[in-house]
Amino acid sequence: MPNSITNRMKNNPLPRLDNSSEIREQLLPYCRLQPGDIWEDKVCGHRVGCIDATDSAAIAELMGIERAALAIHDPPYNVAAFEVKHVSEFVEWCQRWIALTYRMLAQDASLYVWIGADQNNGFQPLPDFMIMMRGQRFSPRSFITMRNQRGYGTQKNWMAVRQELLYYTKGSPSFNVEYTDIPKILKGYYKRVGGKVTENTERSKSETIRASNVWVDIQQVFYRMEENVSGCYAQKPLKSIERIIMASSRPGELVVDFFSHSGTTLLASDGLKRKCFTVDYDPIFAEITIRRLENFRATGRTGWQNGNPFEANLENLEIQENDPDIDQSSEDNSVLIQNPLL
């Protein structure tokens, strides 16, 4: 065992797993799903598949006869099946899983897609993705921006602190209004009421504001937060996914996510009494998704902070000084479904 790994392992995160081939080779034997396999949770009926988001037969096997009220997708920007793609190839790939999503949604349902906008590359793939969506059967509803607390940039440009989220609908789904904990701080919109000129905060019935399409109250995930899952390079905050689920679904309904990554959609769905079917093309991220749910049920913790999901296996791994960390597992409340289509 490397000297840098202590018994407590409090500061040994995994590196980015998408570009750490040596670590990936050591973690793969600990993944219970192979391509095409589906894990089913015995407690709430959640399902996790090691499946390509564009594989219609495998997605159909995952869904069975059920249809979802909500889809939340966070595709790897300009990457398809681990290969960096030209924007046109990426958008063509997106079109395939978008069409498949439509078929797997209920008659009245919502779709949310996180999508990148590279300011050094014509803000792609966001604009071409939006143009592609014009030809789909979904109706556009909103363009949401989530503001990061940390950003990147230079002294010659505005700091980049935004993440983009597109909201579409199929049919006429319900939408649940949510009030945030953001206080009303902007004054204006003067109006005469009862002969007196008032501004908007005086007329308000609430001290806080409704959730708008600009989210400034959600902390981006970083290593000091309990929900952090090291190795996952594109983890979305639990609060952002919970907001989407509460706004666009009801308890007991089904939520789908074709790019599970760190398992945030599954964890949020479980906490909010929704059922979740989620998949990831990568066996390691599919395993992380399962372990995150198991770890939460066993410990009440939403992630591993500066640890990792493979802690129990680490003593058998050869990890560099700035690579390592942990995992926890609980009682096995699952069944493994071998995909008969493969």
**What domains are there in the chain, each with its CATH number?**
17-337 (3.40.50.150)
Q: How far apart are CA 324 and CA 1, in angstroms?
A: 11
Which residues have a Cβ under 8 Å from the Cβ of 75 and sit 6 or more positions away? 53, 94, 97, 113, 114, 115, 258, 259
Q: How far apart are CA 102 and CA 90, in angstroms?
A: 19
Q: Is the pLDDT of residue 174 over 80?
A: yes
How high does pLDDT run on average in the chain? 86
Question: What is the mean predicted confidence (pLDDT) over 162-182?
Answer: 93
Predicted local confidence at residue 318, as pLDDT: 55
Residue 184 phi/psi, 5-degree rounding, is -80, 110
Q: Is the pLDDT of residue 40 over 60?
A: yes
**Is 323 within 8 Å of 20 (Cβ atoms)?**
yes
Alpha helices for 194-263 (secondary structure H): 200-203, 238-248
pLDDT bin (cut points 50, 70, 90) of residue 29 is very high
Q: How far apart are CA 208 and CA 182, in angstroms?
A: 5
Q: What is the dihedral of CA 128, 134, 140, 144, to 10 degrees?
A: 0
Let me know if 135 is exposed, middle or buried by CB neighbors in 10 A (0-12, 13-18, 19+): exposed
Helix or strand or coil: residue 193?
A: strand
More confident site: 118 or 207: 118
Locate 213 and state its tokens. 């399409």
Locate 45 and state its tokens. 């009926």
H or E stretch covering 287: helix 283-299
Distance of CA 232 to the CA centre of its chain: 11
Predicted local confidence at residue 142, as pLDDT: 98
Predicted local confidence at residue 197, as pLDDT: 78
Q: Is the pLDDT of residue 267 over 50?
A: yes
